[in-house]
Structure 1
Amino acid sequence: MGTTPGAYDNYDAKTTANKGTEKTYLMPEGYKFNPDTVAQDLKKGRLLDNNEFVYQYDDQGHKFTVNAKDAQDFLTKYIQAGRTLVTTFDTTVNDDVDGEIQNTAYQLDFQSKTGRSFQTETVQNPLPKINPKKDVVAGVGNRSSLNNQTIDYGQLFDYALESSTRPANYGGKTNEWSIDDQTDIVHDLLTGQYSVLNTGGDLTTEDGQKIVKNQILDPSYFIAVMDGHGKISLQATDKYLKLIDLPDNKKVPVQWTAQESHKKRIHKLDP
Structure 2
Amino acid sequence: MSANRETNHGMTSHDRTNSDIAGLLADAADEVEIGIAPYDAVLRGGRRRKARRWAVATATALALAGSAGTLAVAGMPGGDGTRGTSVATSPPTAPPAPDVSTPSRTLLASGTDHGKKWRVLIDVWRAPRDKREASVELAAMRNFGQTPVDVRDASGLVGKASYFVLREYGDSGKEQVVIEDTFTSEDNLSGRDVEAAAMPVAPGAQGPNRLVVGQVASTAQQVTCTWKDGSTTEVPTVWEAMGAGRDSSGQVRLGSDNPLIRGVSGLPVSWFVCVAPEGTEFKSVAVTK
Provide TM-score, normalisation by structure 1.
Answer: 0.22
Scaled by the length of structure 2, the TM-score of the pair is 0.21
Structure with bigger strand share is: 1
